[in-house]
Amino acid sequence: MAGRRESASVRYTRDYVRIPSVNPMRRTDLDPAITGERRYAEHLREQLRALGLDAQLVGDPARPSLVAEARVADAGETILVASHLDTVPVDGMQSDPFDPRVADGRIYGRGACDTKSGMAALVAALERVLAHKRLRRNLILVGEADEELGSTGVRDVLAHLGTQHPDWVIATEPTELRCVTRHKGIVHAELRASGVACHSSDPSRGKSAITALARALLALDELAAELGTRVDPNLGAATLSVGRIGGGSATNIVPDDAWLLLDRRCLPGEDDVSVRAELEGALAKHDLTDVRVEWCTLEKASLATPADDPSVLALQAALAEAGLETAPAGVAFGRLRPGLDRAGAHPRRVGRDRPGRDRQRNLRAPAQHPLSYVRLRLTARSASLRLRARLGTALASPSRCSAAASRRLGVTKVSHSFTQSHRGSPAGAGAG
């Protein structure tokens, strides 16, 4: 840092990292002093109010989300920019997670990568645009709570926005500065088998729900194999995985109840309705009348912004100008995500304060929005500054954006996941 002035985006990233906003992740062993989004949300609210935005906290007062709006007279379009407030926990971090350290052009600290740098870039860009009075679109800046687990914050924000629908959404996430236009969706479901209980000394008097469920499991296996042939060129195959199973009440009782929970990764075009029909079809095919689909819930909708959408072309142009990779991404998430639920498969790998680990984790992390990754560097020619410049241009130059195929607009189109998903599941298993 010696001799070099910190850019606003770096300064803000460090400010934000100092404010713990760990997602409690339904754990009971986390220190309340570091959990919850409230402190960070309040900090942002005051910062954005100082910039003249109408900023407020919405949703659960204990775990609020932030919505800040700037209106422009006669603006034809509304752009929504978003960056989630919560971070994953700090297990295993070797350095102080909340004392951001700068070294070798990187910032180390919890959330520096995912995704406080993203919020910092948004705020820094906005600050510059406002300072030059160049905001030409209505702007909604969102910081949503609980992205890492249940997405309650997005639901709160959507409820707050009501009928207000943005024309464009850009969300910051760690994507290695790639524009992500496609990702899989997630459906969770429970199958439940009923039987007739009796004492195990004479099983013929009862009917085992576990046996029925076991047959259903084989039917699911068959279905999963079929799904393996359903392949999206960018995202890979649709998948089905049974994650939990249970049933019965005692060893000496024929069980009258058994259940399983499954995770289905969906390709664009698939959703909870199609998945439920498919599951019921598989049960019917094998005449499994004692097994039913108890519930089937869309945890996250898939995203499929067409490759020739003007927003994608515009973002590609902006990336090219910045000397960055322009091909829309989706492949990495598609390959790495299935079955790698952050709450389950690799719970300990998330905390190490090392870029390689962070990158690993981020590649596994859900691409919930159309994304822009901001990796902060300290040099003036840094990617973050370039992206910030692009964001600034996007916010400032609607004429250059909307006319002539929106060449300069560094955003991508409204995300399906942001507008349609997050209905949530009663089981809320933490889609990730």
Least distance CB 359 / Zn ion (angstroms): 13
Per-residue HEC secondary structure of 140-182 comes to: EEEECCCCCCCCHHHHHHHHHHCCCCCCEEEEECCCCCCCECE
* Cis check: omega of the bond before 115, within 30 degrees of 0: yes
Chain-centroid distance of CA 268 in Å reads 16
Annotated catalytic residues are 147
Q: Which is nearer to Zn ion, 114 or 270 (CB)?
A: 114
Q: Which is nearer to Zn ion, 14 or 342 (CB)?
A: 342
CA distance 409 to 313: 9
Which class for 132: exposed (0-12), middle (13-18), buried (19 or more C-beta within 10 A)? Answer: exposed
**Are the C-beta atoms of residues 49 and 141 closer than 8 Å to each other?**
no
Cα separation values, 321 from 124, 190, 384, 389, 407, Å: 20, 48, 14, 11, 11
What DSSP string describes 279-326? HHHHHHHTT-TTEEEEEEEEEE--EE--TT-HHHHHHHHHHHHTT---
Least distance CB 114 / Zn ion (angstroms): 4
The site for Zn ion (CB under 5 A) is made up of 114-115, 173
Least distance CB 147 / Zn ion (angstroms): 6
CA distance 229 to 151: 31
Least distance CB 355 / Zn ion (angstroms): 16
**Are the C-beta atoms of residues 410 and 326 closer than 8 Å to each other?**
no
- DSSP structural state of residue 114: I
Put residue 25 in one of left, alpha, beta given phi > 0 → left and psi -120 to 50 → alpha. left
Least distance CB 365 / Zn ion (angstroms): 6
Chain-centroid distance of CA 50 in Å reads 29
Q: 140 forms bridges with which residues in the sheet?
A: 69, 80
Instruction: Enumerate residues 6+ apart whose C-beta is below 8 A from 428.
Output: 149, 150
Nearest CA to 76 out of 166, 137, 165 is that of 137
Q: Which is nearer to Zn ion, 114 or 190 (CB)?
A: 114
Sign of the four-CA dihedral 161, 80, 177, 402: positive
Least distance CB 108 / Zn ion (angstroms): 17
Least distance CB 148 / Zn ion (angstroms): 7
What is the strand order of the sheet 185-194 is part of?
Answer: 239-247, 257-266, 185-194, 291-300
